[in-house]
Amino acid sequence: MPAPLKAGEILRERYQLERIIGQGGMGNIYLANDLRLQGRQCAVKEVAHDMSLDPDMLKEVRDQFFREATVLARLDHPNLPKVSDFFSIDNLDYLVMDYVPGNDLRTIMMEARQNHRFIPEEDVLNWANQIANALTYLHTQDPPVLHRDIKPSNLKLTPSGLLKLVDFGLVKILAKGEVTITVLQGQGTAIYTPLEQYGGDMGHTGIRSDIFSFGATLYHLLTNEAPADARERFLDPAALISPRQINPEVSIRTERAILHAMNLHPDQRPATAEDFRRILLGNQPVILQNVQSASSLRDLFRTGHDVILLASSGALMLLALLLSIF
C-alpha cells in the first residue's frame, strides 16, 4: 500500500486533502475539500495497482479502471454516493465521490453489542429495503454492475436516516453473457463472500453473489455475530448457526429469507435483489433448498488449486472422524 499523503496536499489542483477516513489493501480513502466548489467535501479513493505485473497487463488493468470508472460516474441513485471524477497521478489512480456523513452499520452494530442488546429487526429490515433499492438499480444497469463487497462497514447511515452503499473497491461490470475482469481489484471480506467469488475473476460471479453478501450482512446485523464463512460451511454444513438460536427475537420469516440468500450454491439463492426483498418483506413464500452435492459446488471454482485445497481439507476432516471412531 502506498505511503499516506499529507494533510493539506492538493491533488489535480482541486482536491485538498484533510485526513484519512478509510484504509484498505489497495490504498487510502481521504476526506478532501473541493477547491472549485466552496463548501463541498468529497471522498477521494486511492487505487494502487500491482506494479510487478507485466507492462501490457498493467496497462490493461489501468485502462479498465478508467472504463469502469466511467460507468460508475454515470450512476445516479439516492442510496449510492455519486462518483464525480477520476484521474491518475504517476502510478496511482483516484476515484472521487460524494462524502457520506454518519456512522457505518458496523459501528452501530458494535455499539449495540457493547450494550448487550440487538438492533431492532424493524430497523434492520428498513435498511434492507434501502440496500435492495441500491442493488436493484446496480443490477439492472446495461451492463449490470456488481458491488462484490457488501458488508456492514460499507453501509453508512446519514443523519437523515438515508442508507448509502459505499466503497466501490471491488466493483465489477458484467459483459453480455459473461463477466469481465475486475479492475478495482482486491478481495471481499471472507465472512460475507460467497464460494464462487474466491476463485478470481475468470468464472461465475454474478448478481446472486451480491445476494449472498446481502444476506450475510443482515445475519450479522441481527445477531451481532459474524456468520461462518462459505469455505468453512463447505467443509461443515452445520457450521452456520441459525439467527434465531442467537437472537430469538428474529422472526421466522426473516431467518428463512436470510438463510435462503446465504445458500452456498448460487442457483439456490433468490435470483434478484427484488426477489430477495419480496421474500424478506412479504408477498413471496420462502422455499429453502439444501446444496445437493459437493461436486456441484466444485464447479463454482475457476482453478483446480482451490478445489484441491478444499478437497484436501475435507479429506483431513474425514480421516480425523474415522480415527475418533476406531
- pLDDT tens digits, one per residue of 286-319: 555 554 334 445 555 444 444 434 444 443 333 3
Closest CA to 86 of 102, 77, 75, 78: 75
Determine the Cα–Cα distance for residues 196 and 201; give it in Å rounded to an integer: 10
Positions in the chain short of pLDDT 50: 176-187, 201-202, 291-296, 301-326
Residue 150 DSSP one-character state: -
pLDDT of residue 288: 58
Angle formed at CA 229 by CA 294 and CA 300, multiple of 5 degrees: 40
**Among candidate residues 92, 95, 93, the one with its CA nearest the CA of residue 73:** 95
pLDDT of res. 128: 98
Rounded CA separation 326/229 (Å): 31
Contact call for residues 136 and 226 (beta carbons, < 8 A): no
pTM of the shown model: 0.82
- Which domains, and CATH codes, for the chain? 10-98 (3.30.200.20), 103-311 (1.10.510.10)
How many CA atoms lie within 13 Å of 267's alpha carbon, on the beta-carbon side?
8
What pLDDT was estimated at residue 101?
Answer: 93
Give the rounded distance of the alpha carbon of 104 from its chain centre: 14
State residue 255's pLDDT score: 98
128 close to 243: Cβ distance less than 8 angstroms: no
pLDDT at 12: 96
* Cα–Cα distance measured from residue 276 to residue 286, given in angstroms and rounded to the nearest whole number: 9
